[in-house]
Amino acid sequence: MPEIVAERVELAFGEGAARTSALRDVNAAIAPEAFTIIMGPSGSGKTSLLSVLGALMTPDKGRVLVDGADLTTMSAEQLAAFRRKYIGFVFQSFRLMAGLTAEENVRMSLTMRGMRDSRNHALRALAEVGLERKGHLKPDAMSGGEKQRVAVARALAHDPMIVLADEPTASLDRASGLQVGDLLKAAVQRPGRALIVVTHDERLRPLADRVIFMEDGTIVREARKQYA
């Protein structure tokens, strides 16, 4: 069961006078079996923190530990292998492969991970998000809500320990947004799973176990479920 820990994490972009700090001395510990939301205004460092926790970026300073494994010491290929094995991603703009059907999008994610019998796994994952009859459709033939559900199926199909979502409901209408929120919430109900969502969507707040508020690259406030 992974515990995700960020220790004194700092991250900056640009060079010289144009250098901008995205994360300043961030400390956070996210327990498994938690639905954590990161909120804050634009430019507050939410997505940067998600990138660092998701092994997509290596911080300039500090450490990121996932169940004791230090991501900051890993090479780019080791980080890719780490993401492949342990993380599922959901993106604001879906990021499905335009040339593949819904089923193929999910299967590609599975075969990339060396999973056998990927077809049955993919169909099961699509069924879990209510798209068992739409596996043959390509993304451009689907609504935004359906695309995001395919993306959720892709993220969850290999049963990752950590699911990271960046504004997963931003492009969706109210009904679709709530549906996606529920699907993600259901994913974290499995033992030892952690879900971290960056969002501005207040509708997701009641679903979260914990809310982290960020401003100017630092965590300014936290709220646990009883206060959310």
Partner 1 sequence: MALSGSSDDDRGGWLKIFRLPWSLTPPRVALARVGGFGLPRLLRFAGRRGGFEVLYADRIIYALRSLTRARGRLIIALTGITFAAFLMAVEGSLLFGFTLAASRLIDAVDGDVWMVARGIPALEFVSPIDERFAWLARGAPGVAATGRGIAGWAPFQRNDGDRTFVFAVGVTDRFLGKIPSPDEASNLVGGRRIPLQVDETDQEALSDTALPVSIQVAGTRADLVGSVKGFAAFLGTPFVFARFEDMRNFLPYAPSTVSFILVRAERRFTPEAVRNALRARFNSVDIWTTREFSWRARIFWLIKTGAGGALSLAAILGFLIGLSVVAQTIYSLTAENVEEYATLRALGASKRYVKSIVLIQSLSCGAIGTFFGLIALGPFANAAKAIVTWIFVPGWMYPLVTAVVTLLCLLAASIASRPAINTEPARVFRA
Sort strands 194-198 and 34-39 into parallel, antiparallel or unpaired: parallel
Q: Tell which one of 161, 184, 188, 194 touches partner 1 (CB under 8 A).
A: 161
Report the Cα–Cα distance between both ends of the chain, in Å, rounded: 25
Helix ranges (DSSP H) in the chain: 46-53, 76-86, 102-111, 118-128, 144-156, 174-187
Name residues contacting partner 1, limited to 93-152 (CB under 8 A).
Answer: 93, 95, 97-100, 104, 107-120
Contact (Cβ atoms closer than 8 angstroms) between residue 194 and residue 32: yes
Residue 25-64 contact track with partner 1, rule CB under 8 A, x = bound? ----------------------x--xx----xx-------
Q: Is 201 in the site for partner 1 (CB under 8 A)?
A: no
Identify which of residues 76 and 175 has a Cβ nearer to partner 1 in the complex.
76
Cα torsion through 117, 81, 15, 196, rounded to 10: 70
Beta bridge partners of 40: none
Q: Tell which one of 74, 137, 178, 228 touches partner 1 (CB under 8 A).
A: 74
- Contacts to partner 1 by CB under 8 A: 2, 47, 50-51, 56-57, 66-69, 74-87, 89, 91-93, 95, 97-100, 104, 107-120, 154, 161, 166-167, 170
